[in-house]
């Protein structure tokens, strides 16, 4: 009788042990599933909102706009970059193959490089790099500093190097005090098929609001400008 009772007790202990093992296994599986779910990436509304959105007016007009500029000291570059933002345009820097040094721009020295180029009607400083597909642009904003009341001769090189067809060209310049004068008129002979708009002079510190106001005054229906909310690119 004692032997039978001992067998029953042993069987009971075995069944209890098996049951405990089953509960532990289930608990471990549950924890494993919870941990794996914690690393699931769930898209949020903010991630979708951060994607660049194309400006509806620009998309509707379909205009290809280029801001091309030459800047030896950075003044014209500042204005060109603001203009790029306002217009949501492509930006192209006209870079001299032989960069200009401070000595080259010493206008008090009659023999400095800039003075020699400006006094030579045939001067055509070489340009580094290439502008791809110039004929595809509908509007070109052309920027430069004023050197001795005129556009630097590298602008002549640029216009002689590319055919913009019947595009609309809007010149702009930077200077300490001089206006755009006849500099833009002198450039028109090198893009005779284009429609040239009246140019504008800006200071180096011109704001996006100033540039937007100028562009709006040009009355070009294919352009949509915004100084407050430029399109992300």
- Residue-wise pLDDT for 52-90, tens only, equals 333 333 333 468 999 999 999 999 999 999 999 999 999
pLDDT higher than threshold 60 for residue 7: no
Q: Which helix (H) or strand (E) holds 48?
A: helix 45-49
Length of the chain: 233
Residues 202/211, Cβ–Cβ less than 8 Å:
yes
State residue 142 phi and psi, 5-degree precision: -115, 115
Q: pLDDT of 196-212, one tens digit each?
A: 999 999 999 999 999 99
Distance CA 31, CA 223 (A): 60
In the chain, what are the helix, strand and coil shares in percent, each to the nearest 5? 40, 15, 45
* Counts for the chain of helices (H) and strands (E), in that order: 8, 8
Q: What is the largest CA-CA distance in the chain?
A: 128
Confidence of residue 187 (pLDDT cuts 50, 70, 90): very high
Residues 65/215, Cβ–Cβ less than 8 Å:
no
Distance CA 52, CA 138 (A): 24
Which stretch of 4-8, 103-107, 131-135, 167-171 has the lowest confidence by average pLDDT?
A: 4-8
Residues 97/170, Cβ–Cβ less than 8 Å:
no
Confidence of residue 224 (pLDDT cuts 50, 70, 90): low
pLDDT higher than threshold 60 for residue 154: yes
């Amino acid at each position: 009788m004692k032997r039978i009772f001992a067998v029953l007790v042993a069987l009971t202990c075995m069944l209890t042990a098996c049951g405990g093992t089953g509960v532990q296994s289930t608990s471990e599986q549950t924890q494993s599933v919870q941990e794996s779910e914690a690393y699931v990436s769930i898209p949020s509304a903010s991630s979708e909102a951060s994607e660049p959105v194309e400006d509806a007016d620009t998309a509707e007009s379909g205009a290809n706009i280029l801001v091309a500029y030459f800047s030896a000291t950075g003044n014209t570059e500042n204005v060109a970059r603001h203009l790029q933002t306002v217009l949501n345009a492509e930006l192209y820097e006209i870079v001299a193959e032989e960069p200009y040094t401070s000595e080259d721009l010493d206008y008090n020295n009659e023999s400095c490089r800039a003075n020699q180029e400006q006094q030579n009607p045939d001067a055509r400083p070489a340009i580094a790099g290439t502008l791809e597909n110039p004929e595809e642009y509908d509007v070109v904003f052309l920027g430069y500093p004023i050197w001795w009341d005129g556009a630097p001769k590298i602008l002549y090189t640029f216009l002689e190097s590319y055919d913009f067809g019947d595009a609309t060209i809007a010149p702009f310049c930077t200077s300490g005090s001089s206006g755009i004068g006849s500099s833009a008129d002198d450039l028109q002979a090198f893009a005779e098929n284009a429609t040239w708009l009246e140019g504008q002079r800006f200071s180096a510190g011109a704001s996006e609001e100033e540039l937007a106001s100028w562009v709006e005054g040009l009355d070009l229906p294919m352009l949509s400008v915004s100084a407050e909310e430029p399109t992300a690119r």
